[in-house]
Amino acid sequence: MNFRNAEEKIFCAVSCLAAAFAIAILSYIIFTIFTAALPSLSLEFITTAESDFPGVGGAIANAITGTIIISICATLIATPFAIGTAIYLQKYARESLFTKTVRFLIEVLSGTPSIVIGIFGLLILVYYLRDITGGFSLISGSIALSILTMPVIERAAEDAIVAVPKSIEGGSYALGANKWQTIRNITLPTAISGITTGIILGFGRAAEESAVVILTAGYTQFMPEFAIKSTDKLVSGFKVYPLQDLVGTLPYSVYHGYENSNIIPMSDAFAAAFVLIAIVLGINTIVKVILWRYKIEV
Amino acid sequence: MMNLRDIRTHIPDDKPGRIFLFIALISISSVILIFTFLFGTASPVLLKEGAGFITGTEWNYHTGEYGILLLLIGSLVLTAVTMAIALPLSLFTAIFLAEWSPRWLAGILRPPIEMLVGIPSVVYGIFGFFILENIFQYYVDPFIDSTLGFIWIFKDVNPSSGISILLAATVLSIMILPTVTALSQEALETVPRDYRHASLALGATKWETIKKIILPAAMPGIITAFILGLMRAIGETMAIVMLMGNCLHFPTSILDTGYAMTSKILNDIGYWVSFDEPKSALFAIGVAIFVMEFIFVALARLIGYRFSIDRRE
């Protein structure tokens, strides 16, 4: 009996300690990143492009803009494919070997390490198609990132569509609506918050990814700007900025802090990291709020 | 004839449906394209080296020798050490959150743990590089060396630096901790209340209930959680490239440096992408990572499946 009680106490203590240790480590990380970022963190740091700042590093406005633009582009490319595939699988396809293969392939894609998608993007988009994409560019980066985010959005959209009650769809059919009218007017509006959650999750996934961005988007200190200039390097004869131009992103700014750790002050890297975390956590919070409101409605 | 009818049943009758089928086909063919391209680019070196690709220890672009044994060992050792740290820590944290802690405390602790899933890996990388590296060099490594150093795997072979497999594994286990903990907790909480009550009514202590009833019942879910952690550990690039030293040799201890497969690709692809054979060799490493993820998933799924069957008898 004594042994059993002792065992109980020991494992209770072990569990408490493990939880305390985990929480302590995680708060230590957040705290350290914040304190290490403080010396560089200022309004000027966030609002100036690196090109307008003397020397290397020192400002990240170009990277913040770049991260947001590239994530939006990646999401725009991935969303139609993800939602279209989800609607087909859930509403049109019959369970068969074909749908199983489709689901399996999407699962495999979501499990593929980002470095593998990165080298694929580097070889195809940046190297082989450099006359069209402009090599390291916003468009190469967006396409590579969209491969990464497509499975995320697809799965969320499929879950949201499954969750739509069969009874209201049945009601729509009973009123004489055909399949597409039902999907457009009943299924999609009902599933919209679930699908939105998926899209935002995909956006966050694109914003935090570093290996793919480093291998496909490159880096520039300049702010992205819109322009069309003639060039003989591309098949089209002109180059569209910022689409076919290099783009700076936050993960790369953080990586620069490691690569050039002797020139760029440590606090710059941590400040960029802090802003990146703030963006990603902000996105996650939005998702939580949407899910929470959604649950209350249902 | 049967086949033809089979295909026809997949084509929707209305126009929007056909558009969706078309979109789905594009998505799927791009996935297939990626994989065939990956294997296609890697095939020259894979065919040339044969089994020597896995058993060879020499990696030289100039002599055209490509063997990934050392990289493979680097990745496997790293993953093993990571799991050795992350497994007990996140399992006990999950047990605490699901079983011991009062409901309000779990409610407070869970959101911050979940939020940390969103911290980008490159941030963990510079955290390890700038902050943990010093701590490991001056405190952790000497401590491990002086207490366990008589066992060769714990010997501090390069005291002048904190960069080591252990450092990379520590950062990696912190990275996968939130995911694994949250999923394991979910698995533990889905075990029906009746099981607990029945066990407690029979006079079992709480720990005995956890050990003999709840953990076995939640085992498939917990194994799935650890597969996800394992997959992330194998595929992780950015943090590892900063923390493992990138030194191609056989690591003699966990405080030694090493070279992971993902780091090798990231470090070399930028320069060698325009050379046919080196490019093919680096893609072959990509294929190896890809295949490894597959093997691990299949293995773990099999274990989880058998485990759940054994318990039902």
| Cβ separation B270–A12 shorter than 8 A | no
Tokens of A34: 């914040």
| Cβ separation B290–A87 shorter than 8 A | no
Token match 């100039």: residue? B62
Residues in chain B closer than 8 A to A34 (CB atoms): none
The answer to whether residues A133 and A58 belong to one domain is: yes
Which chain A residue has its CA at the smallest distance from B110's CA?
A: A23
The answer to whether residues A59 and A158 belong to one domain is: yes
Token match 């494992």: residue? A11
The answer to whether residues B105 and B142 belong to one domain is: yes
Tokens of A61: 């406005």
A281: nearest CB among B118, B208, B283: B118
The answer to whether residues A23 and A77 belong to one domain is: no
The answer to whether residues B132 and B8 belong to one domain is: no
Whole-number Å distance between alpha carbons of B236 and B238: 6
Mean pLDDT across chain A, nearest whole number? 88
The answer to whether residues A175 and A237 belong to one domain is: yes
Measured in whole angstroms, how far is the alpha carbon of residue A113 from the centre of its chain? 14
| Alpha-carbon distances of A82 from A72, A294, B50, B252, rounded to whole Å | 15, 21, 38, 46
In a domain? residue B66: no
Q: Report the SS3 class of residue B192.
A: coil
Tokens of A239: 């180059």
- Distant-in-sequence, close-in-space partners of A63: CB < 8 Å, separation ≥ 6: A50, A248, A249, A250, A252, A253, A272
Spans of chain A below 70 pLDDT:
1, 295-298
The answer to whether residues A52 and A26 belong to one domain is: no
The answer to whether residues B277 and B244 belong to one domain is: yes
Confidence at B6, pLDDT banded by 50, 70, 90:
low
Confidence at B11, pLDDT banded by 50, 70, 90:
confident
The answer to whether residues A108 and A27 belong to one domain is: no
The answer to whether residues B164 and B130 belong to one domain is: yes
| Cβ separation A89–B24 shorter than 8 A | yes
Q: What's the total number of domains in chain A?
A: 2
Q: Please write the tens of the pLDDT for every residue from B202-242.
A: 988 888 899 889 998 888 888 888 888 888 888 888 889 99
CATH number for position A157: 1.10.3720.10
In a domain? residue B59: no
Confidence at B129, pLDDT banded by 50, 70, 90:
very high
Token match 């960069």: residue? B163
In a domain? residue B304: yes
**Residue B267 scores a pLDDT above 70:** yes
Q: Report the SS3 class of residue A265.
A: coil
CB atoms within 10 A of CB B260: 29
Whole-number Å distance between alpha carbons of A49 and B75: 38
Residues in chain A closer than 8 A to B172 (CB atoms): none
The answer to whether residues A142 and A168 belong to one domain is: yes
A120: nearest CB among B28, B37, B262: B37
Domain, as residue range, for B11: 2-49
Q: What is the pLDDT of residue B281?
A: 92
In a domain? residue B65: no
Domain, as residue range, for A239: 44-297
The answer to whether residues B23 and B171 belong to one domain is: no
Whole-number Å distance between alpha carbons of B179 and A89: 28
In a domain? residue B157: yes
Confidence at B2, pLDDT banded by 50, 70, 90:
very low
Q: What is the pLDDT of residue B308?
A: 56
Confidence at B1, pLDDT banded by 50, 70, 90:
very low
Q: What is the pLDDT of residue B50?
A: 85
Name the residue with higher pLDDT: B302 or A14.
Answer: A14
Q: Which long-range contacts (CB under 8 A, 24 or more apart) does B269-277 make?
A: B269/A119, B269/A122, B269/A215, B270/A122, B270/A215, B272/B61, B273/A122, B273/A123, B273/A127, B274/A127, B275/B61, B276/B44, B277/B44, B277/B45, B277/B61, B277/B64
The answer to whether residues B138 and B26 belong to one domain is: no
The answer to whether residues A276 and A241 belong to one domain is: yes
The interface residues of chain B toward chain A in range 185-224, judged by CB-CB distance below 8 A, are 205-208, 210-211
Residues in chain A closer than 8 A to B112 (CB atoms): 23, 26-27
The answer to whether residues B210 and B97 belong to one domain is: yes
Q: Chain B closest CA to A93's CA: distance in Å? A: 6
Amino acid at B113: I
B55 reaches A (C-beta below 8 A): no
Whole-number Å distance between alpha carbons of A81 and A104: 16
The answer to whether residues B248 and B138 belong to one domain is: yes
The dihedral sign for the CA sequence A37, A38, A40, A41 = positive
| Alpha-carbon distances of A224 from A220, A244, A247, B271, rounded to whole Å | 9, 11, 7, 26
The answer to whether residues A226 and A130 belong to one domain is: yes
The answer to whether residues B124 and B14 belong to one domain is: no
The answer to whether residues A11 and A72 belong to one domain is: no
Q: What's the total number of domains in chain B?
A: 2
Range list of H helices, chain A: 2-37, 43-47, 61-87, 97-111, 114-121, 130-133, 138-162, 166-174, 179-182, 188-208, 211-216, 250-259, 266-297
B105 reaches A (C-beta below 8 A): no
Supply angle C-alpha B37, B38, B43, rounded to 5: 95
Q: What is the pLDDT of residue A197?
A: 87
The answer to whether residues A64 and A151 belong to one domain is: yes
Residues in chain B closer than 8 A to A14 (CB atoms): 92
The answer to whether residues A91 and A181 belong to one domain is: yes
| Alpha-carbon distances of A30 from A25, A37, B82, B172, B283, rounded to whole Å | 9, 11, 21, 16, 36
| Summary count for chain B: helices (H), strands (E) | 15, 2
Which chain B residue has its CA at the smallest distance from A7's CA?
A: B207
**Residue B297 scores a pLDDT above 60:** yes
- Residue A61's Cβ-side half-sphere holds a number of Cα atoms within 13 Å equal to 16
Q: Please write the tens of the pLDDT for every residue from B156-180.
A: 887 888 899 999 999 999 999 988 9
The answer to whether residues B277 and B188 belong to one domain is: yes
The answer to whether residues B123 and B23 belong to one domain is: no
The answer to whether residues B291 and B160 belong to one domain is: yes
In a domain? residue B61: no
Whole-number Å distance between alpha carbons of B258 and B165: 6
Token match 């093919």: residue? B280
Q: Please write the tens of the pLDDT for every residue from B113-125.
A: 777 777 889 999 9
CATH number for position B92: 1.10.3720.10
The share of chain B scoring above pLDDT 70, in percent, equals 93
